[in-house]
Copies of this chain bind each other. A is one copy, B any other.
Amino acid sequence: MTRATPVSVNHRRKPARRDSRTEADSGGRPIGVFDSGIGGLTVLKALVELLPGENFVYLGDTARTPYGNKSTEVITRYSRENAEFLLAKGIKLLVVACNTSSAVALDAIASDTAVPVIGVIEPGAQAAAEVSAKGRIGVIGTEATIASGIYTRILKRLRPDAEIYTRACPLLVPLVEEGWTDNEVARRTVEHYLAGLKDSGIDTLLLGCTHYPMLRGLIQQVMGSAVRVVDSAAATARVVRASLARFKLLRSARHGEQVFFVTEMPERFTRVGRRFFGPEVESAVRIER
């Protein structure tokens, strides 16, 4: 395993034995986070900010990214494999930091899993439902996420008076991965995708893909300052903290560590990952898939 940040082990009770499900101090076990690739690092960043004492194991399925243009069946199979890898690391809670997996495979993952499983859809929808003044909410995401209809269903449940407008934006993930987040191509692509939503008079736009926070500045500019742009990362972190507190699983340490696993191209992951997360993404371990 690689250590991406200075390690600070919790010595208050006894030296923590990590990666063990049976240790007495179960709060010392890491939190597992997976994504189809690199986008989930925006969620990990919010988690580390809110829960700096926790240890995290992140898995990016970079060999099979993107998930957004794949079928429910295949996304579910890949998501389960990711969950199994992280469960074998002795995690105490699983965060599905991929909107596409959360949209189509969360129940399937949770049905196999003894630890709490938290996705990014419900927290994001909750945040959007709360901040929207008039209840006119736009949602953007991958083809699979938008086609699942899940955001519309959850938003209508949370806020029955809401009017929901959705748009699939397949090119935004490759744009972000190319690092084109503030050039003319990015601007015109965002304008193209958002034109219809702008005409709909939405007051809130939910970023339904973990890559999109990298384009937040541009999206906010294109939509104008009257539209609230919401992502699911901070809201998901708050749900994770509440879940850990409920199960008495919070780790009482000042610093935790993050370790990174990928299924492909660890160098590319660390290079691009630094833009998403910060310089702590020093190295990643490649696993066979």
Contact = CB atoms under 8 A, between A and B. Distances in A.
A141 B205 CA distance: 36
Contact of A264 (B74, B177, B189): B74
A74 B189 CA distance: 31
Given A170-B174, A174-B171, A188-B185, A70 B74 contact: no
Q: Which of A64, A185, A192, A264 is packed against the most chain B CB atoms within 10 Å?
A: A185
Contacts of A175: 171
A146 to B, nearest CB: 14
23 contacts: A63-B70, A63-B74, A64-B64, A69-B177, A69-B265, A69-B268, A70-B264, A71-B264, A71-B265, A74-B264, A170-B174, A170-B177, A171-B171, A171-B175, A171-B178, A171-B180, A171-B185, A174-B174, A183-B192, A184-B188, A185-B185, A185-B189, A185-B192
Contacts of A268: 69
A268 B71 CA distance: 10
Interface in A208-243: none
